[in-house]
Amino acid sequence: MNSLLRGERPEIAGRALSVAPGGEVALDGSRPAAGDGIARELARLVDPSVPADAAERAIAVDQTNTSVIVGERLVVKVVGRWAAADRAAHLLERLAEAGSTDVAGYAGRVDWRHPSFGTSTLAIVTEYLPGAQDGWDWAVDDVVALLAGTGSEPDFPAALGATVARLHDMLGADAVAAPAPAPAERAERARTALDAALEATRRSGGPTAARLANRAEALRRDIRSLGAAAPGLAFDLHGDLHVGQVLRSTGTPPRYTVIDFDGDPQLEAAERGRTDAAARDVAHLLVSLDLVAAVAQKRIGRVEPAAFAWADRARRSLLDAYRATLVRGELFDPALLPGLEGEQLAAELTYADRYLPRWAYAPDAAITHRYPSTDELPEDPWTPPPFEPTST
Ligand code: ADP
Ligand code: MG
């Protein structure tokens, strides 16, 4: 059930909601937090069966949104910025209407009609998945167990491929032809991403710079192929798909749930609603399997060729299951994969350079492994950084 707040400063749980000229959403000047009753009241607006004294518990706080578990049953995600959840609300609603079980059950949203900003989604309420972990935990655990000989070949790659195909079949029901300049624009965007990664790694001056520079020619070749592909079909994708966006809950078989439909964080907020080719989601997910192989090597503390051998098999199973499950085969053009994967690996390096330098080792491993080197610059072989138990 959806609900609507009205006015410039509507009251929630005794606090006045407001939006700053820059778009920041606040309650009496601060962010909502578990324990203040805001999330519970928002949950009760969409689901009146939530008890008035339901407990609140924090799950994750990032710079833009606040997610709170209410009554161990619902997750209330309150936007940090005006309109930040409009896309996710719209897509989750469409998936719920289509009967998807690949996303968390959708309870509803609370919209806000503001006299000068218009109407936007303030909060999204979904089913809480108890005990669920994201893939940077469960996928890495599975691969580490495989490498240690204590676990068997993980079957999640095929499960993920089928999951994404079902989501694409639903979201792609209203796909339209991409405009004629789409291939040139894709190639240009990927080229820009690679140039940014080359520049960032050169500037920071570590061993990654030479390994990337020696592979730039191979990456450019893949990126150029984007320009030669057909425009194809475009629709509302997930846009930021990687194993960390897939929660696994316990059970036999385990349930995989795709979260976070906020769109591609590499794009400006205004562009995140952009439609794109199905291959973008598939490429990002395939890249994340290589990143899992890198994280697993960090965890076991050595270069282990069996990790990328697993990634090769995992990529094949994911892709086979995706293609076997996808009913609307016309949505997917595999010719886009090499270029979009190259772009995503470059984007991971740039992201690491800007926000999380200790992450660079993972895309570095994948690039070093996947692309042939010109051996122009002297380079050291990739090795995993020391494992710190608190980070991926
Ligand atoms: P943000 O966009 O603010 O990062 P996400 O939607 O990605 O928010 O969720 C952040 C984290 O919250 C996830 O990584 C996951 O651990 C947890 N989470 C999100 N949705 C659920 C859910 N339905 N059940 C359990 N945990 C969830
Ligand atoms: Mg997220």
Distance 245 CA to ligand 2 centre (A): 7
Distance 79 CA to ligand 1 centre (A): 13
Q: Which residues contact 147 (CB under 8 A, 6 or more apart)?
A: 296, 300, 304, 306, 307, 310
Distance 111 CA to ligand 2 centre (A): 21
pLDDT tens-digit map of 33-90: 999 999 999 999 999 999 999 999 998 766 678 999 999 999 999 999 999 999 999 9
Residue 105 has pLDDT above 80, yes or no: yes
Residues flanking ligand 1, CB < 6 Å? 59-60, 62, 65, 67, 75, 77, 104, 126-129, 132, 134, 247, 259-260, 262
Distance 98 CA to ligand 1 centre (A): 22
Residues in the 5 Å CB sphere of ion ligand 2 = 260
- Domains of the chain with CATH codes: 3-127 (3.30.200.20), 133-370 (3.90.1200.10)
Phi, psi of 3 (to 5 degrees): -140, 155
**Residue 104 CA, closest ligand 1 atom number:** 23
Average the pLDDT over each of 30-34, 155-159, 298-302, 310-314 and give the range with the smallest value: 30-34
pLDDT at 203: 95
- Ligand 1 pocket test, pick from 67, 127, 250 with the greatest ligand atom count within 8 Å of Cβ, gives 67
Q: Which residues contact 142 (CB under 8 A, 6 or more apart)?
A: 151, 154, 156
The number of beta carbons lying within 10 Å of the beta carbon of residue 301 is: 12
**Residue 260 CA, closest ligand 1 atom number:** 6
CA distance 12 to 33: 13
Do residues 353 and 201 make contact, with C-beta atoms less than 8 angstroms apart?
A: yes
Q: Which ligand sits nearest to residue 261's alpha carbon?
A: 1
pLDDT tens-digit map of 107-147: 999 999 999 999 999 999 999 999 899 999 999 999 999 99
Buried b / exposed e over 184-197, threshold 16 CB at 10 Å, is eebbebbbebbebb
pLDDT at 238: 97
Residue 390 has pLDDT above 70, yes or no: no
Q: Whose CA is nearest to atom 11 of ligand 1?
A: 60
pLDDT tens-digit map of 177-201: 999 999 999 999 999 999 999 999 9
Picking from 235, 228, 234, the residue whose alpha carbon sits closest to that of residue 183 is 228
Buried b / exposed e over 245-269, threshold 16 CB at 10 Å, is bbbbeeeeeebbbbbbbbbbebeeb
SS in 3 state form for 143-180?
HHHHHHCCCCCCCHHHHHHHHHHHHHHHHHHHCEECCC
Distance 139 CA to ligand 2 centre (A): 17
Q: Mean pLDDT score of the chain, rounded to an integer?
A: 95
Distance 351 CA to ligand 2 centre (A): 15
Q: Whose CA is nearest to atom 6 of ligand 1?
A: 260
CA distance 367 to 75: 37
